[in-house]
Structure 1
Amino acid sequence: MTNAAVLETKAEVSIDDAGTVTGIAWPFGKPDSYGDLIEPTAFKFAPEVPMLMEHEQGGGAVGIWNSLAVTDKGLEVKGRLFLEGVGPAREARRHLIAGSMSGLSIGYQRHEHKARREGGRVLTNITVTEISLCRRPVHPDARTTEVKSIIEGMSMENELKNEPEVKSDPVASPEEIKALKARMDAFEAKANRLRPANNNHPDGANDNSEKKALESFMRTGSIAEVKAIASDSNVDGGYFVLPTTDLTIRNLLTDLSPMRGLAEVIGIANDKYERFYSLGKRGAKWVSERSDRPQDTATPDLIKHSYGTAELYAAPTTTRTLLEDAAVDLSAWLINNAVQDFAETEGESFLTGDGADNSPKGLLTYPTASEKDFSREWGKFQYVPVGATAPTDKQLADALIKLVATLRRPYKGNAVFLMNGNTAVRLRQIVDATGRYLWAPTGNLIEGVDHPLLGYRVEIDDGMPDIGSGAHPIAFGDFRQGYVIVDRQGIRVEQDSTTRKGWIVFDSYKRVGGGAGDFNAVKFLKISAN
């Protein structure tokens, strides 16, 4: 690397017999020499991640990485060299002490990536299978930061005395040329072997870690690489399966309310949002040329709506040990579950919330009346009766047509039906005397387009009530005008590791409110005789 002379080496080395190594295996915010970046959320890890020398698979592991953590700085790792009888591990420590090996390089299986506009790639989903100690990492800032000791002050000066002196003379001796040739032969042999992708070799010839581990076991007898990928073994000690572990956590999908997508969403900077509606009373009168002009025509009334916000709170908790040792990204999973929980809870409130303590007041909790717009008291939605408490298919079809006709033209451009799945099934089964379906039979011929009902889109929300006496199972109108959602801020997540020692609490919260807007914009179908 041409800029190696100006790179800052971050090694702060202290030594002892424990052989503990810490460092940053992949720094964030700066691409490697191939132009590659790795997103902080991309990292997943094999059950055990071995420590190798220069990605040398055949030589076996020289240690094991006990801790792998994604922090603001990057992928911070901590591991232990196998000093109890593994010669290459002792050799690795000598190089670390001397400062001749201070780089780290990750070996990984690439699952997903995207191209960078500046060149290279952005890796979005990888599984780290090994991390190597190396002299010249592809990422210039991937360095060992410490060779940490339990007993401070011990040195390996006697061991280092036999290290060859670094020559300043640029003229190489015949012995050095011979040694260099032998080293190049070794590199060539190494390059011809199958290897997984890693950030020193991002275009690895294969990603078959199971085959590689099995070959290593058969060649050397070392089970370090097998342990790194195997999740089960025979009680007799023989590995009979080398499984690939799925390191993702699959969430069971739930139904979310479409109200946030239908309503008007306002972001605010304080704890309350206010808006005004004008009833727009007519006061203009016809006058003749010489007649007096009245000075007291009607003045429009202004109505103020106020929307407060309440806090939604969740605190998923896990132990620090589990968070550090898990191969999956537990923190992301817990946060995603909190976000899902918020979406489900607020969705219910947008329909049925009671509005207590500035929480959202649901669309279904407002009173309704049968009077038309401008005759009806403000603060009530209009309903259209279906004509019976147990309506027939014909009564339902006739009432739907009347419901659409009741909504005035200013609101029809963005009008949508809202109902639950059971009501939708009932409406889909309504046919006329010739067997034609009420609900857009020709919609089946349009690929990817959901069937319109009487020409209008249908949204399903199972928070809406079923068809039953006195219920309002169908709403129709412009929900963007008819309902307002107020967000004080987005979801905030704070990690609390001090309140309860040994536990990590993901303190998650958001502030949200909601309520009706224009009471003329949404109409309801009521299951009643009048």
Structure 2
Amino acid sequence: MFNYGSYVQMISQKFIIKSIADNNITITGYASVYNVVDQQNDIIIKGTFLSPDNQTVKFLWQHDIIQPIGAIKSLHEDNYGLQIEAVINGNIRSGREAIELVKQGAVDGLSIGFNLQSAYYNHLGQRVIEKAELLEVSIVTFPANTHAKIYNIVNVNQQEHMNIEATNSENTEQITKQIKMLEDKINNIQTVLARPELGNDNNNIEYKAAFGDYLRKGNMNSLIQKSLSSAAGEGDVLLVPTLYSKIVGEIKARSPMRQLASIETISTNALDVVIEDGKFTSGWIGDAERREDTETPKLKQKRILVHELYAQPKATQALIDDSAIQIEDWLVKCLINSFIKIENAAFINGSGEKQPKGILHDDHKIKNIDVGDIKLQDLLLNLINDLDEEYLTNASFLMNRTTLSAIQQLKDETGRFIWQQTFTESLSHTIFGIPVVCCAEMPSIEVGKCAIAFGDFDSAYKIVDRSGVNIMRDQYTEKPFVKFYTVKRVGGDVVNPEALRFAKF
């Protein structure tokens, strides 16, 4: 006998369901739309479903595994999403019901079921699904993605076309606008990020092969010919763009400060930021009354320099020559682990000399809320209430796990814990409903230490990256090892101290 409870448990643990737009009896439409945030705060990107097989992917009604309603004819990917063509079987009861409901417009969504294989969280806390095994596509009543709609139906036997859009022209126009908007966004992103080696697949493949040849054999001539960028210094080369993107993405996903702060990528050695010292004011006035000058903040310029962050992993030439070793992946892993920890330490405690200036640096004059004799719970409330309302919407707590452990034991007047774990993510925490981010580099609770930071870090702190990572292969100075001297340039500084508060113990 079919155990529905086990099926629900399977869904909640590893079988993830998404909804999306569809068409037809043969129906055609999109089983998944890319780069759209759904109601579960997830985003599916292009390439998530590699070569889905329409012979093995099932076509169901309302995700009921005992109610297949037909067969999928084709699945293929374009820039908008995963396109599907499927036939609803009108010779079975569930198929006839589905056909009538789709024609009526009572049911117009599609949903996908898959096993998650790879995902990461972006700086907005949205889960980006990048690899999954597609198991089934269903016609559903309530799609998780509200943009998912069926467009039209084709009667297989009579070859009659029923255009659902004709019954809802307003919906059609809205969908067309949404598609156009997504296409414009994609074009804008491609324009901003375009580099010669990324814009041409053949050039990118050749450059990557040349880069691998450089890592293994030190052959630099072919790499210089393939690379169209002049950003590399004498004797070194730019890290291949795909590997650079992987390093930057992984560092951002694992760096607490990069998740919270604003990030700017530049091609020079410094970023000039204009800061307002004070606030604009306004007032009420009658029609014929004289207009007095209002207060205007002074504008100050702040320069954030980028500093050289280096790593120098090494391996024997014999290991590098081993064709079973993915030398690029090994290098990326070494660089990520090396860069993350030292970056985080600088963003918190950095001196500003040959490294970013951290948020705890005395120069920033960020307001401290002293503990004194008040309870820790009252201190947290004081932090929240002291921050200007304009920064509260995007505010977060930043502390280490030892500090969080002490807060997890606190209760409010009703006996409920003020700390809560979110339902959507097992490692996410809130205090009084405000997100908490843990960072090992933050001080523990000690006398004279600012153990808790609170505020809108996106407004308060800016991280500056210089595009590109340079690498130099050195097979001479420490034989039999080959060293890979790698440089990443990064800076950081507080640009708005009013958006932050510290709890000082």
TM-score between the two structures when normalised by the length of structure 1: 0.44
Q: Which has the higher strand share?
A: 2
Bigger radius of gyration, 1 or 2? Answer: 1
Q: Which has the higher helix share?
A: 2
TM-score between the two structures when normalised by the length of structure 2: 0.46
